[in-house]
Structure 1
């Protein structure tokens, strides 16, 4: 049987990676993850992985080990129907609209019914300053021309120039380390594009897979959001903007727009990425209320308000009443997820007891076979893979793991 005849999600063998540099606190060896490459991935499967604490960087999928990391990264999401813009969100939106519209701000506000007397409406407030929504009689008198559009994620020099500028001023990255290939790998490549029907616009105009949302002011690209459109959510992958637009609080503006976009695309949730409680740059994410954090043991979402007092007392928080494992400090370079006592995984003995060779699909030399067949044909090869496969099932989750094909080429 060929790989085309089998599953649409194919992943590489996984690996536990301890003692990594932490981008949040700067520790040289404080972060630990479990990682693998996605050779192809359906949007449905990726959403299920996200709801188990996974994220992606290009085609690399990783699950932070919250228990063994200096800065635990919690999955955070917002239910779009419950979101209420705060005073600071409304101020940021109105301030930016005033910058775009200039002297015509009040006129547009009245026409769009977003005055103080009419109340604040997120949809009209977000869209009222876009050039295509401004009445012809007013357009010639506005200060700037704002255009926002969703485009496919191909590499362009225009996008790369913005990325290069942003990495240099925001992250202080040396120019020689910023490359076109790095940009493409990080923000243009996605495993969704390798799955038929998982990178498109549907018949009813809804987006699927990876897209870039472009912000133009007077024809100049000033900001760009990288977004994953999944079955029940939009996931914010990355956002970048020009340094001279930092005063416009694009972090708040873009998140408000993406929450609204979730509503427009009939997605009940918006994932705003990962949240680190003690990281100052992450504080803005907690301002989008009501939000929920993913429990790293139960894989259930609980309100941020429930998590916050616990996070103020300790780094690792779970509401699992059965949880009693002490924290483990990972040392050395050869740790496995089992020996590190990684957060949110089944014990090795539990997985071994239910591990079924018939439910493991392996891709070897572009051919698909069940684990039990490999064990019969090449027992030594299968034996060398067994520990890794059991560990992958423990980290990914039994039901989800058994839906994937594992490439061992």
Structure 2
């Protein structure tokens, strides 16, 4: 990375891990005052960094490397039988890609957190938290809004980088289990990535020992960032 010598990284003090109750975590943050552009964002993503709100970060835990950055090579992806079934179940949805979060999205987000993530860091939800997490961006984002007729049922927040899409976060109707809307959102982003002729969908951190984060290897082939290089699993 040509700019890496001038990039300041700040490390947090050890704090309770969000995924393992018996572990402490430490996080590296990119200097929030650094002039940010898409080229730098892309290079950082290639090295395992992620965005959350206005912060770009990477886990840096002393005795644990459980969080592994992952990405899907979009042109090579082949859906499984279950993934094809998910697509078929959702053929009645329409998708609108927007440059701003829709006005009715917060109510959906609030329901999603209250039902699906009562044990997580984002509970209880608040509008301030919602705006800081998903609307205050260091990079232009797109909001893929999934509708069943006129009803908003899912939103996928996406950053468009030079070499692909970064799947920042998806929230959806928590009572539509049969639709598997989280799966559908990823499948749609892979197709959108192909339409934009970009190579990768960055999915965030895969964690083998955490059920909520293990699903990412259901999408094959997948690439994992291990020992400072991307390793492909077919």
Q: TM-score with structure 2 length normalisation?
A: 0.88
Residue equivalent to 1:168: 114
Find 1:57's aligned residue among 18, 41, 52: 52
Task: Select the structure that is richer in helix.
Answer: 1
Q: Aligned ranges for residues 154-193 of structure 1 at < 5 Å?
A: 154=101, 156-172=102-118, 177-192=124-139
Find 1:30's aligned residue among 20, 24, 28: 24
Q: Does 1:304 align with 2:226?
A: no
Unaligned runs of 5+ in 2: 1-5
Structure 1 residue 261: Cα displacement = 0.5
Residue equivalent to 1:272: 203
Residue equivalent to 1:76: 70
Question: Do the aligned partners of residues 12 and 290 (structure 1) sit closer, same or farther apart at CA in structure 2, a change above 3 Å counting?
Answer: closer
Alignment RMSD (CA, Å): 2.4
Q: Does 1:21 align with 2:5?
A: no
Question: Do the aligned partners of residues 37 and 221 (structure 1) sit closer, same or farther apart at CA in structure 2, a change above 3 Å counting?
Answer: farther
Unaligned runs of 5+ in 1: 1-10, 101-145, 193-208, 306-409
Structure exhibiting the larger radius of gyration computed from Cα positions: 1
Structure 2 CA distance, aligned partners of 1:215 and 1:95? 13
Structure 1 residue 241: Cα displacement = 0.4
Structure 2 CA distance, aligned partners of 1:16 and 1:176? 25
Q: Does 1:147 align with 2:142?
A: no
The one-character-per-residue Cα deviations of 1:294-347 (angstroms, maximum 9, x if unpaired) are 12x3x2211236xxxxxxxxxxxxxxxxxxxxxxxxxxxxxxxxxxxxxxxxxx
Q: Does 1:93 align with 2:87?
A: yes
Instruction: State how many pairs are aligned.
Output: 228
Structure 1 residue 153: Cα displacement = 2.9
CA contact (8 A) 1:66 1:73 kept: no
Structure 2 CA distance, aligned partners of 1:213 and 1:176? 23
Q: TM-score with structure 1 length normalisation?
A: 0.52
CA contact (8 A) 1:252 1:284 kept: no
Q: Does 1:289 align with 2:220?
A: yes
Structure 1 CA distance, aligned partners of 2:103 and 2:188? 25
Task: Select the structure that is richer in strand.
Answer: 2
